[in-house]
Amino acid sequence: MIDCHLHLQDPRLADSVAEIMGAVRALGIGRLVVNGTHPGDWDAVAALAAEHAEVIPSFGLHPWRVGGEPEGWLADLEARLVQHPGGGIGEIGLDRWIRGSDFGRQREVFAAQLDLAKRLGRPVSIHCLRAWGSLIEALDAAGLERSPLLHSYGGPMEMVGDFAARGAFFSISGYFFQPGKERKLAAFDAVPRDRFLIESDAPDMALPPEMLRHALADGNLNHPGNLMAVYEAVAARYGLGFEALVKRTRRNFAAWYGGRAGQHPESSR
């Protein structure tokens, strides 16, 4: 299995990383794309990638962090990516849900990171809330050569085709199986099967209690090992065998990330 988007570097998980990685290996989760959200956590992402062969690092400035970025952050981001030739850019994006945020500045920061992704040929993991039209405009302006991932896609079903036409992949998390999220979940019915990926988004995006397979000391946090429950729920929803879904998502991940799914993109190890 592949977890295409999570935040293992989150300080709330710091005391649980050893246990988490043991569970991940026991379950057969072979790849975890760990996404940074601001310059202050990029060192932690890099350290996890150095220590754990399963971790693929991704570095980015999240829209919630725009406005507090230090001077020189973009040059720092480029330097990190040069140091990690198999690393991605993320989590980045646009968000109109945040009160008081400077959306114009968000767009500038997002465009700068998309430009970096194009220049360096890196995959991107995108966050978007209530800004879907602006996201299409930004993607069209960027002219990315690599397909973007819309992580935990929460947009309208009617726009799936628009993003798919631009090469996008879409990832689903267990949160969409929560009561009241039926319309969000239904949007994935329109996602082409060759553009479908699965994520935990741990330690956030909690699953319904009946789906939980693993727990952390803080019961409000999502354990990455719950990824298996998301695979099971997706397989059941779409009438797929579990192994067939695993194979499909491995192929899709290889197509998104640009490397063979059986080989760690960060190196040949």
Q: What is the pLDDT of residues 192-206, one digit of tens each?
A: 999 999 999 999 999
- 77 in a structural domain: yes
The CATH code of the domain that includes 240 is 3.20.20.140
The model's confidence at residue 260, banded by pLDDT at 50, 70 and 90, is very low
Residue 204: domain span: 2-257
pTM of the model: 0.94
- 263 in a structural domain: no
Q: What percent of the chain has pLDDT over 70?
A: 96
Helix (H) / strand (E) element for 49: namely: helix 42-51
What is the domain count for the chain? 1
- 132 in a structural domain: yes
- 135 in a structural domain: yes
- 138 in a structural domain: yes
- 213 in a structural domain: yes
- The answer to whether residue 221 scores a pLDDT higher than 70 is yes
Mean pLDDT of the chain: 94
Q: What is the pLDDT of residues 13-51, one digit of tens each?
A: 999 999 999 999 999 999 999 999 999 999 999 999 999
Q: What is the pLDDT of residues 109-126, one digit of tens each?
A: 999 999 999 999 999 999
Rounded CA separation 125/110 (Å): 11
Provide CB contacts within 8 A for 116, sequence distance 6+. Answer: 74, 77, 78, 81, 89, 122
- 264 in a structural domain: no
- 184 in a structural domain: yes
Q: What is the pLDDT of residues 148-185, one digit of tens each?
A: 999 999 999 999 999 999 999 999 999 999 999 999 99
Provide CB contacts within 8 A for 248, sequence distance 6+. Answer: 193, 194, 196, 240
